Amino acid sequence: MNNILNFSGVFNDENWLPEGLSYFDFRTLEGCSCYCSPESESIIRKAVTECGKAGVCWIDTGDYHYISLFRIELLKEPFLLALFDNHPDDEPDSLSSGLLSCGNWVKQARERISLMKGDYRNSDSLPGTLPVFLSIDLDVLSRDFARTDWTHGNMSVTTLLSSIDKIRETHPIAGVDICGGLTVAKGARAEDLSINAGTRSLLYSYFQSHPPVSG
């Protein structure tokens, strides 16, 4: 199953809302951009539970990457986290006043999820054969392939998909989520929106052809 969690309106700005996806509209929800209040966390968790752990979930921009934590908490067997992101997202909780944030969710996952047996960033060399949860932030790509308001890596879409292919050779994929983008409200131009929508479409097609094993 594919799901869209829409918080900022980025998918509307890009005119990227494929048919057949489960759609959750959180554009009026407060206390959830970059940092997640306990009240908003409860609401978002309910939707994520409905989405389930399997399939591909499109999680708005990188400001909401912390939602990956809610998804991997649903996994019921040992797994590895493969993070493709230009940032480690493991900053000290003190920097976010103790709130879950897009900058500390990986750290919280290490501390809270005993079934997560390792996390690897921007690597296709993973040990063993455990299932893998893929979490992708478009800012891992160069600006030729994505536009966000975070600093970018230098990866191409081809390199990203080749890395995922290599992981899939030895590890079942238990679930996938993808975040990243830029809204008009944050300065996106037509070119930015077109580039991001094009990359989303490439990733969407790839995972339609290579769905997670349990999705």
Q: What is the pLDDT of residues 171-182, one digit of tens each?
A: 999 999 999 999
Lowest mean pLDDT among 1-5, 69-73, 90-94: 90-94
Q: Can you spell out the DSSP letters for 139-205?
A: GGB-TTT---SS----B-HHHHHHHHHHHHHHS-EEEEEEE----GGGT--HHHHHHHHHHHHHHHH
What is the model's pLDDT at position 215? 44
From residue 85, give the alpha-carbon distance in Å to each of 13, 89, 164.
23, 8, 13
Whether residue 215 is contained in a domain is answered as no
16 within some domain: yes
Asked, for residue 52, whether it belongs to a domain, the answer is: yes
Q: With 70 as the cut, is the pLDDT of residue 122 above it?
A: yes
Determine the Cα–Cα distance for residues 53 and 205; give it in Å rounded to an integer. 20
Range with lowest mean pLDDT among 15-19, 46-50, 153-157, 193-197: 46-50
**Which DSSP state fits 135?**
E
Amino acid identity of 116? M
214 belongs to a structural domain: no
Average pLDDT for residues 21-34, to the nearest whole number?
Answer: 94
Range of the domain at 136: 2-209
Please give the pLDDT value at position 134. Answer: 97
Residue 1 pLDDT > 90, yes or no? no
% of residues, the chain, pLDDT over 70? 97
Domain count, the chain: 1
Report the pLDDT value the prediction gives residue 214, as an integer from 0 to 100: 57
What's 66's domain CATH number? 3.40.800.10
> Sorting pLDDT into bands at 50, 70 and 90, what band is 55?
confident
